[in-house]
Amino acid sequence: MRRYRWLAAIPTLGMLGGVPFANRVHPYVLGLPFLLAWIVVWVVITSLVMALIYLLDSRRDAELAGAVATLSDDSRSP
């Protein structure tokens, strides 16, 4: 199991778990109500987390492909 995929739970918890608390605050952030700004920030954070997971997946896949290639090269030599 790739443990770093659990990072995807962070934006979910931040967006869904934080909304009841963010809904109680009434100032404006950059002209947006705080709740809308909260959701927009978490959408951006979600994109960053997904990009990180993608990079970690790509690196792991490349390492596995290199290991498989090395094993197949070793099995061919007499």
Q: How far apart are CA 15 and CA 48, in angstroms?
A: 14
* pLDDT in the model for residue 69: 62
Domain boundary assignment for the chain: 7-69
Strand partners, 33: 28
Residue with tokens 């490349």: 62
* pLDDT in the model for residue 78: 55
CB 38 within 8 A of CB 18: yes
What are 19-77's pLDDT values in tens digits? 888 888 789 999 999 989 999 999 999 999 999 999 988 877 777 676 666 656 555 55
Task: Name the token pair of 61.
Answer: 């896949």
CB 42 within 8 A of CB 14: yes
In 1-78, where does DSSP find H-type helix? 9-12, 18-22, 34-76
